[in-house]
A and B are shown apart, each in its own frame.
Chain A
Amino acid sequence: MKLSLGPVWAVAKKDLLLEVRNREIVISILVFSGLVFIIFNFAIELTRVNRDTVGPGVLWVAFIFAAILGLNRSFIIEKDGNALEGMMLSPVSRDTILVGKTLGNLLFMITALVVLFPVFTALFNVNVLKVEIIVIAVLATIGLSTIGTMFAALSVNTRAREIMLPVLFLPIAVPILIAAVEGTAQVTQGGSWSEAAEWFQVLAAFDIVFVIAALLTFQFLLED
């Protein structure tokens, strides 16, 4: 495994430039999540009691499903014109390409969350604009973008990629989802920093496991 920062940033920067042009990934995450927030807002009768417990679940489930749309899209743009093969014909390693893609996806997810958090706070009257929840969000998106990119790369060459990605990604993402929901709920219910820190540790542990797994497998994912 040979990683160099220059090409990693070049790949991520190219994805950011494409996103600035198209606004396809972030917009699709925002629209889907926003719609789920609105639907749940009408579907569930929120009270002062259940708002803080139900809200975090809605927030993270909506975000994770929306993230799948963005992850799929981030590899579909690579199939257009076979540009992924163009990168593979360069001297950069397969891992470098996928680490760059992961960095791009991480930035898209964080950008989407920056917009979604205030929207969620306004719709559900649950304040998620707290430092502890922002730490949880950053840790969760590191793990989600890492395994998401891994499975998106794996499924992009399959015919049923739209189905394949969630089938592969969601079961593995469950630990992150649980930790993010529980950690967020802990904070919204007035838990202390140290209580939230337990979930930081769980998320950080999963991030480490997923990043190591991704770095070990990335080089094989783009083989023909």
Chain B
Amino acid sequence: MLTGLNLEVPRGETITIFGPNGAGKTTLLRVLGSLTRPDRGTISINGFALSEQAAFARSTIGVVMHSSLLYGDLTARENLRFYGSLFGLNDTESRIDTLAQRLNVAHRLNDKVRDLSHGLEKRVSFVRALLHRPRLLLLDEPESGLDQNTLGIFEDLLAEFRAAGGATVLVTHSLERGLALSDRIAILGGGRIVFDDRSENVTIKELPAIYRNFTGEVS
């Protein structure tokens, strides 16, 4: 459960949310993605109030969650075409090809998602999340299942996205990666943000102690 949460992520900024299991990290992403309706409070995404203009807000959000959000019995390309049609894209095929090349999954686009390894499925999830040129990325432990090579590609993509003015909310348990990828870090504990600072003000040596102090748990 989230309470008294006040969070602003400007354009071009990546914020990493850390926190122990059950702290509310995934719930926060679900609320921002309009999958879970908050009891009270307001959320504005790219200038659209989520309560009144959810469709407009959702058209600007790309989400990577634990599950792939893909149909196992459709091929990767069929899944991506379907999402392209839901987002009303005119250039779905070229977007699929460009992003799939970039994420090194183009050679498996015609395979059923069920037949892909977890890592490949995750790469297709990234293509799905980026297909409609979102301006806000919500990433829930995106690094899980990715090999070192794909992690490098993912980090490059995230840097490009940030440079192009995209905002990112990243949830991860990896303190090192989270700190390296973000402009700001926050620690969520008991449904509240208990720590929030610029990344440059925190070193990786200090971060485990900060995390322990604010959550009472070892990272």
Measured in the bound complex, the distance between the Cα atoms of B61 and A88 in whole Å is 12
**CB within 8 Å for A89 and B58 given contacts A14-B82, A224-B35, A224-B36:** yes
Which of A14, A77, A89 is the one whose CB lies under 8 Å from B61?
A: A89
For B83, list chain A residues within 8 Å (CB): 86, 90
Neighbour of B56 across the interface among A77, A87, A89, A91, CB < 8 A: A91
Does any Cβ of A come within 8 Å of B212's Cβ? Answer: no
CA distance A83 to B67 in the complex (A): 9
User: CA A90 – CA B80 in complex, angstroms?
Assistant: 12
Asked if A90 and B37 sit within 8 Å, CB to CB, the answer is no
Q: Residue B78 at the A interface, CB < 8 A?
A: yes
- Interface majority SS (helix, strand, loop, mixed), chain A: helix
Instruction: Please count the residue pairs between chain A and chain B whose beta carbons lie under 8 angstroms apart in the complex.
Output: 77
CA distance A22 to B72 in the complex (A): 11
Main secondary structure of the interface of B (DSSP, over half): loop
Which of B85, B86, B87, B113 is most buried by chain A, counting CB atoms within 10 A of its CB? B86
Chain A 7-43, CB within 8 Å of chain B: the 1/0 string? 1001100100110011000000000000000000000
CB pair A90 B86 closer than 8 Å: yes
B73 at the interface (CB under 8 A from A): yes
Chain B interface residue count: which class? 20 to 34
- Asked whether B65 lies within 8 Å of A82 as measured between CB atoms, the reply is yes
B55 in contact with A80 (CB, 8 Å):
no
Partner of A85, one of B56, B65, B82: B65
Q: A-contacting residues of B (Cβ < 8 Å)?
A: 30, 33-37, 55-56, 58-59, 61, 63, 65, 67-74, 78, 82-83, 85-88, 113, 128
Given A6-B88, A82-B68, A90-B83, 13 more A-B residue pairs with CB atoms under 8 Å apart are: A2-B55, A7-B86, A11-B86, A14-B71, A18-B74, A21-B73, A85-B35, A86-B69, A88-B35, A89-B63, A90-B58, A91-B87, A92-B86
